[in-house]
Amino acid sequence: MCLAVPGRVVAIEERDGTRMAQVDFGGVVKDVCLAYLPEIETGDYAIVHVGFALQRLDEESARSTLELFEQLGVLEEEFGDAWGRAAAEAGVAAAPEEDR
């Protein structure tokens, strides 16, 4: 969870008085809070950490970082099935996941 992952802002809306975005991380789309990067627009790239956009990034850097994080398994760790992974590591059957 420690590395911030770059993504592309695909939509922006106001929710509960907070500017929120849908951000695409190489195929996985997540809700992201824009409170710390209010000037960002749809189509921009930003580095996002645990649901918060932290800095704007250019497209090329975003793409190459995403590629590296894919290789390092960061994307799987950030967005994949944590229970399944923990179960596999522990050598037991996966517990069911209620909140996805």
**Interface with another protein by CB under 8 A: which residues?**
1-4, 16-18, 30-33, 35-38, 47, 49-52, 54-55, 57-58, 61, 64-65, 67-69, 71-74, 77-79, 82-83, 85-87, 89-92, 95, 97-99
Degrees to nearest 5, angle at CA 73 with 70 and 75: 60
**Alpha helix stretches (DSSP H) within the chain:** 59-72, 74-79, 82-90
CB of 78 to another protein, least distance (A): 7
Q: Measured from the CB atom, is 42 or 83 closer to another protein?
A: 83
Which two structure tokens, joined as six digits, stand for 17? 């008085």
